[in-house]
Amino acid sequence: MTVHVIATGGTIASHWGGAEWTNIDGASLIAELGELPVDVHVTDVAAGPSSNLSVDQMVRIAHSVQTALAEGADGVVVVHGTDTIELTAFTAQLLLGTDDRRAPVVFTGSMRPHSHPHPDGPGNLRDAIAVAAASSEAARGRDVLVCMDGRLHSARFVRKVNAASVDAFDSYPHGPVGS
């Protein structure tokens, strides 16, 4: 079982070292999770705040997901800043469509930076990998998903609604598709 992780920066990767902010790469974010029950293949395709991503870069990230699936990934996780995660996730949804055989594609990020004493990133990333690695029908054949704070949202409905909470997303007028 191999999950491809595509890292694109965001708050989840932002580390305040006392003098400057640095971007933690995807391999380091994964290494910090300790032992995982799946093999993880990591690629870094962007860094920094997601509000800096151009539409071309969002399309490139969506194509990276498509490539990972074509290479045989059992699931794909995209690590992304939350300011525009809904845009890139929806771009990936448009590119991939809904296919009942498709492996899970799960976007995640965090509201607290990597250097926060109680970061939400590791839990979100661990959850996203668990969903991406799930071979059950509950995870396969879904829309592209956004996994935050224990909930899974469809890329077609998700939006950021509260920048002051780790529970920052909803799917109004629908509920989350999973937890």
Residues binding ligand ASP (CB under 6 A) = 10-11, 49-51, 81-84, 109, 111
Question: Nearer Cβ to ligand ASP, position 104 or 113?
Answer: 113
Residue (30 or 166) nearer to ligand ASP, CB = 166
What is the rounded CA–CA span in Å between residue 133 and residue 49?
A: 27
Q: Active-site residue among 11, 84, 91, 108?
A: 11
Q: Which residue sits closest to ligand ASP, CB atoms considered?
A: 81
Closer residue to ligand ASP (CB): 109 or 119: 109
Tell me, yes or no, if 2 is annotated catalytic.
no
Minimum distance between the CB of residue 11 and ligand ASP, rounded to whole angstroms?
A: 3
**DSSP 8-state symbol, 33:** T
CB of 161 to ligand ASP, least distance (A): 13
What pairs with residue 76 in β-bridges?
A: 4, 105
Largest CA distance in the chain: 48
Of 29 and 111, the one with the shorter C-beta distance to ligand ASP is 111
CA 28 to chain centre: 15
Q: Which residue has the tokens 């290494």?
A: 31
Q: Name the amino acid, one letter, at 177.
A: V
Joined together, the tokens standing for residue 134 give 């799930």
Q: Whole-number minimum distance, CB 64 to ligand ASP, in Å?
A: 17
End-to-end Cα, the chain, rounded Å: 22
Q: Which residues are catalytic?
A: 11
